[in-house]
């Protein structure tokens, strides 16, 4: 038997084709037929889905409020550190960045805390 590239290619194609037909035909017999008219949700409605998403969003909003409150506290701590450095340097460092950071950090902490309290108590 003479072996050439086209005959080898033809043999491999037939082998792969016959094995893939066998594999796919047995796999297709294992798949159940789906009835598109049946209710597969188990009686759940869109309102159940919306309620679950609302709960997930509520957890995420609480987490965001906590992260912003923590960042506000860190900013206030950094501002107090700037005040301390400005007081020790006797006028060489300005206290203006500390004032701005104190106002921004305090506002961030207060607003995120109030938003978290309102979200967890009223809504």
Domain that residue 109 falls in: 62-123
| Residue 17 lies inside a defined structural domain of this protein | no
| Residue 36 lies inside a defined structural domain of this protein | no
> pLDDT for 56-110, tens place per residue?
777 788 888 889 999 999 999 999 999 888 888 887 888 888 899 999 999 999 9
pTM: 0.55
Cα 78 to the center of its chain, rounded Å: 29
| Residue 110 lies inside a defined structural domain of this protein | yes
End-to-end, the C-alpha distance of the chain in Å comes to 83
Q: Which of 109, 94, 101 is nearest to 79 (CA)?
A: 101
| Residue 27 lies inside a defined structural domain of this protein | no
Whether 26 has a pLDDT exceeding 70, the answer reads: no
- Domains of the chain: total: 1
| Residue 77 lies inside a defined structural domain of this protein | yes
CA angle 54, 56, 61 (to 5 degrees): 90
């Amino acid at each position: 038997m003479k072996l050439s590239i086209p005959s080898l290619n033809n043999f491999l194609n037939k082998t792969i084709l016959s094995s893939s037909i066998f594999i796919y035909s047995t796999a297709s017999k294992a798949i159940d037929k789906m009835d598109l008219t049946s209710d597969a949700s188990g009686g759940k409605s869109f309102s159940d889905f919306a309620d679950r998403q609302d709960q997930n969003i509520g957890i995420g909003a609480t987490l965001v409020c906590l992260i912003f409150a923590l960042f506000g506290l860190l900013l206030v701590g950094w501002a107090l550190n700037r005040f301390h450095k400005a007081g020790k340097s006797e006028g060489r460092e300005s206290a203006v960045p500390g004032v701005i950071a104190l106002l921004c950090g305090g506002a961030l902490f207060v607003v995120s805390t109030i938003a978290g309290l309102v979200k967890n108590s009223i809504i």
